[in-house]
Each structure stands twice: as structure tokens, then as C-alpha cells.
Structure 1
Amino acid sequence: MSTENQALPGVSCPGCPHRAAYIACKEALGRGRGRVICGNAGCANVGPMHPAATACPGGEEALLDRYKVAVPTGGTSEEPACEAVIHFIPDADLAAENAAEVLHSLPAEGHVTVLAVLASSKEFLTVGALEALAARALELGCDDAAIVDPFDSQKSSDVLHGALARPGVHAVVFASPCAQLQRGEFQAEPVEIDQYACTSCHRCQQITGCPAIAFTPPIFRIDRDACAGCDLCVEYCRTNVIYSPRSRMTPEQRSRARYAAANQQ
């Protein structure tokens, strides 16, 4: 596989954990008036991005204006602006000295506000660093903080549903290393799509927006050089025609493999 896979401005890379975090949040929050996902789901490689752009084919520039929901304003801690808000923030922004200025308005955003912390940078590859990030969220006023692997969809769902069921401000640290940190010799093997069984339902691309998935009529194919082996598309293929070399691994084993690859660079 190619080791040269440069990040594109405004486009989440194949295997980006921010994409997995957004999809988990979108499914847990659901749709409806007063339910908002906002903030910044970008990183140092691709620049600022609205969370919805992480799962949009084409990224930030292709995201329709109606999906670019802004951070709610005009509310107070007694009368928040929305029913439920999931506010994305990169790890570096939470760790910054001025983070208190950014987070002071969280109680006014929603009756329930989830601070989705994207812990994927090289500085947050250890348990200690992740725990310190969670402690930082508590220090800045969050009622509680949980650490979860965004690619562990079931656990992410359980944590998010638990947080969204309780009024207040809750931090969820989505911990998985940046896909760019896993490139090279230790990169995971790509997934494969059965070209004879694919029904071209478009679900894999519509949900994930992954740049490694391409529609080449009449079927979808995987760019093996681009695929980071995150297996997110495998989970959302209803016809089960996307195969992963990691199918027998538990979510915990997959997470350990990603961190091992990132720490080898």
C-alpha cells in the first residue's frame, strides 16, 4: 500500500476517528427541532470543519448550508437555547489555556449538552494523557466525563444515550489515534467489497462519506491505497458484502492495534 496519503483541506481522511464520532453522535441524538450538532471536528491536518462535513463526500466545501448548524446562542443556564446539543471540540482546544472562554457558554446551549472531545492527536496516545483530558473537562465545568473508542459503535451509543438522558453538561472523550499517524509499515490491511454481491445501495458512502469508497457503476469499490482499515463501512453495509481482515477481533483488540500502529511512527 502507498505510504503517501496526504490530508486534504476540509476533508476527513479515510479512517478518521472524527467521522466515526460524528456518526455515533448523529445516531444517538436523532433528528428533530431543538437537537443540534455543532462546533469544530477538524484537526491540524485538514483545518476547521463542521462535524457534519466529516461524513460528507467532498468535505466542508460540499456540505450544504442547511447542515452547517451554528453553535446555539441567546440562551441562559436557566433557559438554554436548545433541547439537546452535541458540541464538538478538538483535543488541542480543550487543552489550551483559553479553553474556559470557549466552554463557559455550554450550560446555555442546551438543557442537555454533550461536549464531544476529539482525542486523536499525537499528544494523546497514552491512557494518562486521555485521563488528563477528561480531568480537564471536569475542571472546566462538565458534570462528568467518559472516554470511549468512537469505532466501538455499541459502547459509544450506550455512553451517548446515557449522557443525553440527563440534563446538564457531559463530556465524552472520543479516543482513537489520527489515521495519518497509522500510515506506513504498520497501516491496517484494507477492507474489500464483494464485486459480485454488492447491490449498489449506496449506504456505505451515504453514511460514512469516506474518500476511500468510490462508486464505479454498477458497484462500489474500495481504494486499497487510501483505505485505513477502520472498518466503519463494514458495520453499515446491510447486505454484509464488505469484508474486513479484522472480523474476528473485538473492539478492544482493534483499538489496541490502532494505538500500536500510531506509537510505532
Structure 2
Amino acid sequence: MLTVRALSVHRGGRALLDGVGFTARCGAVTGLIGPNGVGKSTLLRAVAGLPPQDATVRGGSLLFDGRPLPTMARERARLVGFLPQGHAVHWPLTVRRTVELGRLPHLGPLGRLRPEDHTAVERVMAATGIDGLSQRPVTGLSGGERARVMLARVLAGEAPLLLADEPAASLDPGHQLRLMEVLRAEAVERDRAVLVVLHDLSLAARCCDHLVLLKPGGGCAAGPTPAVLDPALLREAYGIPFAVTEAAGVPLVIPTLPPKSDRGVSRHAC
């Protein structure tokens, strides 16, 4: 499992993260939630060994199975797969060639794909439903198709720790659920630790085994999903009340607004 202990990241005189600690276990999906600006992306980038520009890790430790994460880029890439925000691509590579790039940490000096590399590429393309797009240029794909291609590229590396920063952003509900199903299958069936940033709390409630709620001002609340999705904890972090309920057997986390007299705008503004 990934163990984060008292992690602090600073930029200039400002703390981007301060004293964050939690674990993310193999075989489970751990959701990283919290309001904008609390350091969710910063945390993922620190684990990946790619802290934001001009930011430094001031304290704490990052362990995987009790050992410090390697500092060498190639070694870290074999252990940690990182899917950053957005799905921008600038070169008209084919879908298959793009996914093959995910095997780079495992290739020898000549960079030739071996049979096991082709097997890994074919598996993740089938898992993400892009095998039918194999020879199309990535630059000509829709946003949803491109998101699946970039996910497949990360999965092709077969790293035991997978980090995904808002992978469901800008996707329609169907694509969101299918993407989360792929991440869950990677966690459960291939015993990987998945740490994923989500803003949709209902999606987090439905798809995550554990949650880490980053709080403004530092620190976090971490634990099983139902325990972290406590209305009092959510209100403390986000500054607004929440209703946590269920419909048709599916958990729902609904942000609400205080009465009109408390906020000075129409109750029907949204």
C-alpha cells in the first residue's frame, strides 16, 4: 500500500499541503476529495515525483509497501502510473502507438516492444474499449475517446500504484461510470492501489472504497467512504451543508444552500 506520512509541500512562503497523512491500499480505490485549492493535484504530483513548479517537499515521507518511493525517474515510473488533468495531445500519433508509449519504463536500450509488451497494450485497449480505434490519430478523437486512450496509456505501464487526477472531468455520466469501472477492475482484479481525484461526491460515494478529504488550512480526514462522507465533515471542508442520502440503491451526496435570509440571494438561483 501507499503510505503518506505528515506530507508538507511549500511554494515560496505558502504551504500547499501541510501535515497530510493517509494510506491507499492495493485492491481498493481511494478517492481524494476536497474543495478547490486544498492541494489535491499537488499531492498526486508529489507522489508521482513531479511536484508543481517552484514547489518543494518540506517534510513527511512517501512509502510503498514500507519502502521509500524511488527517486530515479525510470524506477518511479515502473512503480507509479500518473494520469494528470486534461487530455491534451499535440502529435497525430495513432491510438495504438500512443498506448504503447505507456510501456517505455519497461523497454530495453533499443526500445523495441517484446511479446509481453504487445500483450499488455492489447489488454488495456480492450479494457478501455478503444481497440476499435487502433489506427486512428489521437488528435481526431472526441474528448471521451481521448480520455480513454490516455487512461489506457497509463494502465499499459502496469504500475502497482495508479494515480488519476480528475479523470472523469468533462465526461458524460455514462463515460464517467465506465471509466470508474475500469479503475475498479484494475484495483480489484490486478491488486493495484488506485488513488483518484474526484469532485463529484456522489460518484466518489458510489465508486470508492476509501476517501481522503483534504481540509482548507491543512490536514485531512481519511477512512471508509461512508465515514468520510459525514455531513458535518463535508460542511467543515466545503463551507456549505450537504445531504447524504440514497436513491434506487445508489448513494447521493447533495450540496444544499442556506436559507435566503442567510446568504442574500434567491433560493432558486441555481
TM-score range, shorter chain: 0.3 to 0.5
Between Structure 1 and Structure 2, which shows a larger proportion of strand residues? 2
What TM-score does the superposition give when structure 1 sets the normalisation length? 0.32
Q: Which structure is larger by alpha-carbon Rg, 1 or 2? A: 2
Higher relative contact order (CA 8 A, sep 6+): 2
What TM-score does the superposition give when structure 2 sets the normalisation length? 0.32
